[in-house]
Amino acid sequence: MRYWIFSGILVASALFSGIDAWALEFTADQIVKFGKHTQKANLYYRDDRWRLEHQSMGPVNVTIVRKDKQLMWLLLSRMRHFKTLPYDPAQEPKLSEHLEGEVSREEIGTETREGHPTILYEVTVKQGDQTDVYYQWFATDIQFPMQLTRKDGSWSVEYRHVKLRP
């Protein structure tokens, strides 16, 4: 009887020990550049929800996103107001190694960013009739994309001071 209980505990622990391995929780400084504009924000991310605390002087101070509720809240603290919007998948941070619609990936080299060893890739993405080419710096030690930049330089997102939660 003890053997079966012990075996059951071992099997259960083997099955459920990896659950947290799929969860991603981190904080980082996010820098988004598009054209001549730069937006900086502090990003607090956990699986299906995240919060951006914007550093710019725009009307929105904080953005809260809840994928599970399919909602986004824009907090306008100077006006003491908030706005509720439906969730927009285009606003989701691109945090996986492979991009949606990826058709090719070529390793260009290696580099150290923020103390993390990264591999620099040239990634081609096709969405509908449009094909875009990006450079991606992917940190191999923390399995995290440190920067994603369009090849033409018109858009980029960079993460600094990334702190993963164990």
- pLDDT tens digits, 49-82: 999 999 987 778 999 999 999 999 999 888 889 9
Report pTM.
0.81
> What is the reported pLDDT for 77?
82
Question: Domains of the chain (ranges plus CATH)?
Answer: 23-164 (2.50.20.10)
Mean pLDDT value across residues 10-32: 60
> What is the reported pLDDT for 21?
42
Q: How confident is the model at residue 24 (pLDDT cuts 50, 70, 90)?
A: confident
| 108 HSE (CA, 13 A, CB side) | 14
Query: Listing from the earlier edge strand, what are the strands of the sheet with 49-54?
Result: 81-86, 71-76, 62-66, 49-54, 37-46, 25-34, 155-164, 144-150, 130-139, 116-127, 102-113
Question: Which alpha helices (H) appear in 1-159, and where do they start and end?
Answer: 2-16, 19-22
Q: What is the per-residue pLDDT across 3-19, written as a single tens digit (0 to 9) for each?
A: 333 333 333 333 333 33
Residue of 17, 26, 32, 30 whose CA lies nearest to 143 = 26
Mean pLDDT value across residues 100-122: 96
